[in-house]
């Protein structure tokens, strides 16, 4: 069958026009539409500091996980596909083991093609989740009633919380090793905890005596240092939430708080980040990951 010269000419002209469009300065948008770029796969591991207990909307009742927690914020800013397995109450043992019987090991979410992993864990290994509320004192220190929280945890010349931090360090090392083995190409970041107390605390606004507020914050600072050291020694990045959250702890004014106290003024669990804190933490995490 003879070719139609006019039709052939139209085909050639159309092909030339398409080539010109793809070569034009604005072409990357059209090319990206034709060949979508794969979104990086991001897995968030950790405890309630990342999960966001009681912040609406809760997407996992066993884990008290919020859809406004900082992993969700960070994933949106990074354009990543998020697998969020953070779970309130998690310790390092829950990374490789079941939590609350029903919750699978968090490490099971990792895949060989996972691109990014964040790890926020350690406070529950040290029992800070129970130590902090145990330090609440409704009467003034001058009343002479009861012992200081610090004296309870440092009786006999031993700081039991500091000792637990030391025992937790190798567990963080082990967790990072397992992450690297399961997702060998992933960028891994250890994320710290926020600042709770300003120096001296703010009793009675937050009913923790000044010395105990300093003791608790110093313990969180020791944990922060240990996590940073473990990250550096085991091929992981580190995200510091302590520094940007200073001045936004439980003693801050309601509009400035990133962290709620014993009686939360917004939807959040006591002594946990609120929605504002999660938003700021998510932005900080994304900025660190996105930085050169």
pLDDT tens, per residue, the chain with 292 residues: 444 444 444 444 444 443 443 444 444 444 445 556 789 999 999 999 999 999 999 999 999 999 999 999 999 999 999 999 999 999 999 999 999 999 999 999 999 999 999 999 999 999 999 999 999 999 999 898 989 999 999 999 999 999 999 999 999 999 999 999 999 999 999 999 999 999 999 999 999 999 999 999 999 999 999 999 999 999 999 999 999 999 999 999 999 999 999 999 999 999 999 999 999 999 999 999 999 7
For residue 136, what are the β-bridge partners?
Answer: 208
Length of the chain as a residue count: 292
Entry pTM:
0.86
Note if the bond before 71 is cis, omega within 30 degrees: no
How many structural domains compose the chain? 2
3-state secondary structure the chain: CCCCHHHHHHHHHHHHHHHHHHHCCCHHHHHHHHCCCCCCEEEEEECHHHHCCCCCCEEECCCCEECCCHHHHHHHHHCCEEEECCCCCCCCHHHHCCECCCECCHHHHCCCCCCEEEEECCCCCCCHHHHHHHCECCCCHHHCCCCCHHHHHCHHHCCHHHHHHHHHHHHHHHHHHHHHHHCCCCEEEEECCCCCCCCCCCCCCCCECHHHHHHHHHHHHHHHHHHHHHHHHCCCEEECCHHHHCCCCCCCCCCCCCECCCCCCCCCCCCCECHHHHHHHHHHHHHHHHCC
Please tell me the predicted confidence (pLDDT) of residue 15: 43
**Quick one: 280 and 224 in the same domain?**
yes
Residue 264, Cβ density class (10 Å: 0-12 exposed, 13-18 middle, ≥19 buried): middle
Q: How far apart are CA 192 and CA 196, in angstroms?
A: 12
Please tell me the predicted confidence (pLDDT) of residue 36: 64
Give the contacts of 292 (CB within 8 A, at least 6 positions apart).
Answer: none
**Quick one: 26 and 74 in the same domain?**
no
What is the CATH number for 72? 3.40.50.1110
**Quick one: 45 and 32 in the same domain?**
no
**Quick one: 225 and 250 in the same domain?**
yes
Which domain range does residue 238 map to? 40-290
**Quick one: 112 and 29 in the same domain?**
no
**Quick one: 33 and 132 in the same domain?**
no
Q: Are 238 and 190 in contact (CB under 8 A)?
A: yes
**Quick one: 184 and 213 in the same domain?**
yes
Which tokens hold the place of 146?
């009861």
**Quick one: 149 and 16 in the same domain?**
no
Please tell me the predicted confidence (pLDDT) of residue 238: 98
Q: How far is residue 173 CA from its own chain's centroid?
A: 18
Please tell me the predicted confidence (pLDDT) of residue 144: 86
**Quick one: 227 and 273 in the same domain?**
yes
Q: How far apart are CA 230 and CA 96, in angstroms?
A: 18
| Torsion from C-alpha of 242, 237, 115, 183, nearest 10 degrees | -110
**Quick one: 25 and 141 in the same domain?**
no
Which tokens hold the place of 54?
């009681």
Q: How far apart are CA 258 and CA 243, in angstroms?
A: 12
Please tell me the predicted confidence (pLDDT) of residue 128: 95
Please tell me the predicted confidence (pLDDT) of residue 292: 79
Q: How far is CA 82 from CA 115, 133, 170, in A?
A: 11, 32, 28
**Quick one: 158 and 246 in the same domain?**
yes
**Quick one: 29 and 88 in the same domain?**
no
Please tell me the predicted confidence (pLDDT) of residue 86: 98
């Amino acid at each position: 069958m003879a070719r139609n010269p006019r039709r052939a000419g139209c085909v050639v002209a159309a092909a030339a026009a398409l080539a010109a469009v793809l070569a034009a300065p604005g072409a990357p948008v059209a090319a990206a539409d034709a060949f979508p770029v794969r979104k990086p796969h991001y897995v968030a591991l950790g405890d309630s500091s990342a999960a966001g207990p009681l912040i609406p909307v809760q997407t996992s009742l066993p884990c008290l996980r919020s859809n406004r927690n900082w992993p969700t914020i960070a994933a949106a800013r990074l354009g990543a596909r998020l697998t969020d397995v953070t779970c309130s109450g998690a310790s390092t043992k829950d990374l490789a083991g079941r939590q609350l019987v029903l919750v699978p090991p968090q490490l099971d979410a990792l895949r060989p093609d996972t691109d990014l992993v964040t790890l926020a864990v350690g406070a529950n290994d040290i029992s800070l989740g129970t130590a902090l509320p145990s330090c609440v004192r409704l009467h003034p220190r001058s009343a002479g009633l009861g012992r200081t929280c610090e004296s309870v945890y440092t009786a006999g010349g031993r700081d039991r919380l500091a000792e637990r931090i030391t025992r937790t360090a190798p567990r963080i090392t082990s967790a990072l090793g397992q992450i690297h083995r399961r997702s060998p190409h992933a960028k891994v970041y250890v994320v710290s905890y926020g600042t709770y107390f300003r120096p001296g605390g703010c009793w009675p606004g937050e009913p923790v005596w000044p010395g105990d507020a300093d003791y608790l914050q110093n313990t969180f600072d020791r944990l922060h240092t240990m996590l940073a050291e473990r990250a550096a020694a085991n091929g992981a990045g580190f995200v510091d939430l302590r520094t940007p959250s200073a001045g936004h702890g439980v003693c801050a004014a309601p509009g400035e708080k990133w962290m709620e106290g014993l009686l939360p003024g917004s939807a959040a669990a006591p002594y946990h980040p609120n929605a504002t804190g999660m938003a700021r933490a998510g932005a900080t995490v994304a900025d660190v990951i996105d930085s050169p």
